Amino acid sequence: MKSTSALSLEKISSEHSAPQRFAIVNGDDFGFSTGVNQAIFKAHTDGVLTSTSLMVTGGDGRTRRYADNLP
């Protein structure tokens, strides 16, 4: 038979579980080039990326089109 203190510890530990943790996966340099844009777009649509940073002076003129198709 378990002691009263052991039962109390089990109750406390089951009521106070660790908070869930989430990771933010960022794709840098969206807009840098066609290849970077395609990789970021694919990673995002596949559920890998959760955010990206935008290079507004990047070399790929299709960046706006890619961005318009991302949620």
Angle, alpha carbons 54-59-61 (nearest 5°): 85
Over residues 9-13, mean pLDDT: 55
**Residue 32 clears pLDDT 60, i.e. is over it:** yes
List the chain domain ranges. 24-71
Whole-angstrom distance, CA of residue 56 vs CA of residue 25 = 20
Whole-angstrom distance, CA of residue 11 vs CA of residue 68 = 50
pTM of the full predicted structure? 0.62
Under 8 Å CB-to-CB from 13, ≥6 apart: which residues?
A: none
Q: Where residue 46 falls among pLDDT bands split at 50, 70, 90?
A: very high
> Higher confidence at residue 30 or residue 17?
30
User: Over the chain, what is the mean pLDDT?
Assistant: 78
